[in-house]
Structure formats: structure tokens, C-alpha cells
Amino acid sequence: MQNNVNITNFRQDFAIIANWVKFGSKVLDLGCGDGELLQFLRGSLEVKGYGVEKDDANVLACIQNGSNVIQMDLEDGLSGFEDQSFNTVILSQTLQAMHHTEAIVLDMLRVGQEVIVTFPNFGYWRNRIQITLGQMPVSKTLPYQWFDTPNVHLCTINDFDAFCKNHNIDILERKVITDGEEVNFIPNLLGCLAMYRLKTK
């Protein structure tokens, strides 16, 4: 049951990203994991895709499934990529684990004509309840314990909206989803996963 919900959620995530990526465009997926999203985009939209990944096993998986992958640490920035050289740069559910959060978002906007950022909304009501009950939230989008989590920069939808405003970033589109369904009512409370399409102003 839990697993099924996860898959639905995942595909909804992919489906929205696919809607935001143009057919045949050039895409950079940062923290691409085993290349699953790239494979999906390649199959459905014939994109010219590249992934960036740090982990050895994921890099190997990408090479196995024929996804272009560049092994590097996102914390070192995107200096190997030219300004505006990609149609879309994607950072899917990795923002919260970045140390140089501000730097990576700005670098993405430098490299990509458009940027897609997704992250677990820390303002989601289930997280708030767990905090109210006096413990760090653990859920399917935040599956870690406080002592082993890679997440260092969790934020809410309101926080990220303010971040964009302060950094002069244009929010072209924002979608919030919970259990695969789009949430339009009080998204910062009822939304589990936040998805943004951004552009430099």
C-alpha cells in the first residue's frame, strides 16, 4: 500500500516535469540518481538529457541504462556548464540536502533558460503535527530520522516563495501535490511536494 502510493506520487512528479519540458529540448537533471527521470523524458519527449550525480552506484546505473551522466558533486557548482546552455535544468527533491542551496539555485538559473525545482514541503500538515507532538517529522517524503538525514535545508512553500522574491527569480508556475493529487487549497498546509518552474527575471 505504502509502496503503491509512492509510485503514484513519483509518476505524478514525473508527469508534471514532463509537462514543463519541451519536446526535443536539452535537459540537465541535477542529482539524477539512477537516471529514471532522464529515461522517462528521453522516452516520452526525446530530450537530449544529461544527468549530474555524485554517487558511484547511481553513476554506474546511469551508464547501464544508457543515460548520459556526469559524475560530480553539485556542491562544487556548475562551472563546467556554459551560461544558458540548457533549455531546462532540473533539481528534483535534492534542494533540501544541499549545503550551498542559494548558490545552486542561482547557478541553475545561469545555466538553464528555465529551472525546475521540487522539494518536500516542510509546512505540510503531517510534518506540523509531528513537530507539535514534539518530534522531528518522518514521512514518505522525509523518510529519515533526525540523526541520519541528509536533509540540511528544509523549507516550506512560503519560505521558497520568499526566497524567489528576494533573489529576483520569476516563478513561471508552481504546482503542489499530495498523494499524486494536485493541491490548490492552502498548499503550504495541505501540500506534500512542491514543484516550481523558474526563470531569471
Partner 1 sequence: MSENNSVGVVAPQTAHFSEPLALKSGQVLPQYDLVYETYGTLNADKSNAVLICHALSGNHHVAGKYSENDKYPGWWDNLIGPGKPLDTDRFFVIGLNNLGGCHGSSGPSSINPATGKQWGSSFPILTVEDWVSSQARLLDHLGITQLAAVIGGSLGGMQALQWTIAYADRVRHALIIASAPNLTAQNMAFNEVARQAIITDPEFHGGDYYEHGTVPRRGLRIARMLGHITYLSDDVMGEKFGRKIKDTIKYSFDVEFEMESYLRYQGDKFAGSFDANTYLRMTRALDYYDPALAFNGDLSKALSKAKAEFLVLSFTSDWRFSPARSREIVKALLDNESTVSYAEVTAAHGHDAFLMPDSHYHAILRSYLSNIQIGSNHAE
CA-to-CA distance for 39 and 18, rounded, in angstroms? 11
Q: How far is the CB of 45 from partner 1 (least distance, A)?
A: 16
Q: Measured from the CB atom, is 58 or 118 closer to partner 1? A: 58
Position 84 contacts partner 1 (CB under 8 A): no
Taking the complex as a whole, the smallest distance from the CB of residue 157 to partner 1 amounts, in Å, to 33
Nearer to partner 1, 6 or 113 (CB): 113
What one-character DSSP code corresponds to residue 121?
Answer: B
* C-alpha–C-alpha distance, residues 43 and 62, integer Å: 15
d(CA 192, CA 179): 8
By rule CB under 8 A, what string of x and - marks binding of each residue 42-81 to partner 1? ------x-x-----x--xx-xxx-xxxxxxx-------xx
Decide: 141 and 127 in contact? Cβ < 8 Å.
no
Identity of the residue, 70 or 190, whose beta carbon is nearer to partner 1 in the bound complex: 70
* Residue whose grid cell is 556554459: 82
Residue among 48 and 199 whose Cβ is closer to partner 1: 48
Place of cell 516563495: 161
Q: Binding to partner 1 by residue 26, rule CB under 8 A?
A: yes
The answer to the question of residue 171 lying near partner 1 (CB under 8 A) is no
Distances (CA, A) of 47 to 67, 88, 158, 174: 11, 10, 32, 22
Which residue ranges make up the site for partner 1 (CB under 8 A)? 26, 48, 50, 56, 59-60, 62-64, 66-72, 80-82, 85
